[in-house]
Structures are given as structure tokens and as C-alpha cells.
Amino acid sequence: MPPLEHFLLVAAAIFSIGLYGALSRKNIITVFMSVELMFNAVNLTAIAFAKFLVPVWSNRFLFGSELSDSIKEASDIALSGQVLAIFIIAVAAAEIALGLAIVIAIYRNRGTIDITDIALMKK
Amino acid sequence: MSVLTITFWVLAVWAITSAVLVVHTRDIFRAALFLVSTFIVVAGFFVILGAEFLAVVQVLVYAGGISVLIIFAVMFTREVAQGNQPNRYFGVGLLLAVALFLVLSFTVVSTNWFPELHDTAEAEAIASGTFSDTSRGLGTLLREKFILPFELIAILLLAVLVGAVALVKER
């Protein structure tokens, strides 16, 4: 099994590539794709932490005093990182659906999806 | 080197290559396809990390749903011919991203994640990593402890559905 640091480094690389894409592209859809890359990196980090760090806690709970309660609590704690990832996925799906609807509305009104041209608030 | 380590390195190279290609391919449609590739690799990472339910959700929601939405948006907005051009802040973005990556990797490397755990039985137990049945635990957890956020997510998705329809409706 590769150590935790390797997963975190891959996630950091994907997040940085996503940030670079979100900051440096003209097309609004590419910006959205970069934001999705960043969401994926965050999910990867959450699950890597849930895998590597939380079982230490759950082991402590397992070897604690009341065994019957603590087994349940331990598995709950061990899985809460994955629950966080599920909520991130749901919110990301909501964000992309609404965002692309806004993109299509902008395209219909202004005929462009170049983010350097959509500068109504600057004028 | 174990099978898991080799798989990890193959997936890591694949993930970073396709992430770079998402940003750097000139054709936006191809960039969307590379985005699907990245999603599938991340699902592979989830399988390595013992989160098999999330790997399935990742393939269904991201590789199946979100990528179709993005490809639809690429088709609807006819700027595919112009390609994927950089804007004025190209250099600033690159600089910021590299700086962020350096800070993050410095933090990851210099932090002692397992203070009293190196070379113990506990560390071995984590490292061997058994493949467990997580979907049952996740289901119970979502229904018991996380029931309020779960319902709020349902309301959010309904609101998004209504909002998206209202936004793209023909007047």
C-alpha cells in the first residue's frame, strides 16, 4: 500500500492543475472543467485521510472500555470521511448543473462564452 | 513492489497527464474527454483506498452525468472552433498554481502524519488495508447521524433543478 503522502501529493498536483486552468483560460467551459478537477482532488484527499488517519482513532475506540458501543462508533468515525465525499459530490453535481445553465443563458443573451468579454460589471 | 504500489503509480501518472491535457488541449471537446479519463482514474484511486461505493458513485455521477452535461454545453455553445485559448492572466495563473503546489507538497512532506505510529503493528494494519463492505455502513450513517444534511441535499438538488429549468427556459 502506498503511503498517505503519495495520495496527498497526487491530489495536490491535480488541484494545482485545476487552479491553473481556472485562472488562465478564456473559455468558460474550460474553467468549469478545471473547477471539477479541483473538486476531484479534494475528494481524493478526504478519502485518503479517511483511510489512513481515522483507523488509528477507531483502533483506540476498539480497545477502549465499552466494546459494544465503541465498535459502532468506530465504524461511524471511520466512514465519516466518505460521507463528506458523498456530500461534496452532490454539491458539485448541483453546482455544475446550475453553472452550465447560466453559461447557456449567457450564450443566448450575449452570443459569447469568452470570460474576458463578459465584463458587464466593469463598465 | 506490491501490486497496489504499481497500480498506484500507473494511476498517478495517468491522472496527472490527463489533468494537464484537460487544461492544455486546444480542442474543447477532446478536453472534455480527457476530463472523463481523469474522473475514471480518480475512481481507481478510490478503489485502492477501499471506498468501493464511492468509486461507483464517482463513475455514475462524474463520468456518467457531469461529463454529459459538459459535452452538451460544449455542443450548445458554438465556440468550439475557437479552441481553448489562454487569457491575459496566463503567467499569473501558472505562477500561482506552481506556488500553491510547492506550498502543499512542502506541507505534506514535512508534516508527521502518524506521530507515534511508525513501524508499529497499527501502521502495518493500516498499510495492509483490507477491502471492506462500506456501502452498508455508509447507508446506516447517512440515515442515522447525517439525516439532516442528507435531506438538505435533497432540497438543494430540487432547487437546482427548478433553477436550471427557469434559467434556460425560452421566453
Q: A74 to each of A60, A62, B71, how far by Cα in Å?
A: 9, 7, 42
Nearest CB to A102 within list B100, B142, B167: B167
* Distance separating alpha carbons of residues B105 and B156, to the nearest angstrom: 35
Q: What is the pLDDT of residue A68?
A: 46
Q: What is the pLDDT of residue A44?
A: 94
Q: What is the pLDDT of residue B144?
A: 84
* Distance separating alpha carbons of residues B64 and A87, to the nearest angstrom: 18
Query: In what helix (H) or strand (E) does residue B156 lie, and over which residues does it extend?
Result: helix B147-168
* Sign of torsion over alpha carbons B115, B121, B123, B126: negative
- ipTM, two decimals, is 0.87
Chain B nearest C-alpha distance from A122 (Å)? 16
* Residue listed under C-alpha cell 459538459: B70
Compute the average pLDDT of residues A18-46. 92
Q: What is the DSSP string of chain A?
A: ---HHHHHHHHHHHHHHHHHHHHHBSBHHHHHHHHHHHHHHHHHHHHHHHHHTHHHHHHHHHTSS-HHHHHHHHHHHHHHHHHHHHHHHHHHHHHHHHHHHHHHHHHHHHS--BTTT--GGG-
Chain B nearest C-alpha distance from A17 (Å)? 6
Q: What is the pLDDT of residue B128?
A: 52
Q: What is the pLDDT of residue A76?
A: 66
Residue B128 C-alpha cell reads as 495492509
For A40-94, write each residue's pLDDT tens digit: 999 999 998 888 776 555 555 555 444 445 555 666 667 788 889 999 999 999 9
- As a whole number, the mean pLDDT across chain A is 82
Chain B nearest C-alpha distance from A41 (Å)? 8
* Sign of torsion over alpha carbons A40, A43, A49, A50: negative
- Asked if B41 contacts B22 with a C-beta cutoff of 8 angstroms, the reply is no
Say what the pTM is.
Answer: 0.87
Q: What is the pLDDT of residue B113?
A: 77
* Distance separating alpha carbons of residues B112 and B123, to the nearest angstrom: 13
Query: Which of A87, A97, A85 is CA-nearest to residue A42?
Result: A85
Residue A112 C-alpha cell reads as 459569447
Query: Which of B91, B161, B92 is CA-nearest to residue A93?
Result: B161
Q: What is the pLDDT of residue B171?
A: 67
For B67-105, write each residue's pLDDT tens digit: 999 998 888 887 666 767 777 788 898 999 999 999 999
CB pairs under 8 A between A and B: 248
Q: Please identify among residues 79-98 of chain B the ones whose CB lies closer than 8 Å to any CB of chain A.
A: 79, 82, 84-90, 92-94, 96-98
Residues of chain B with pLDDT under 70: 79-81, 83, 114-133, 171
* Distance separating alpha carbons of residues B50 and B128, to the nearest angstrom: 11
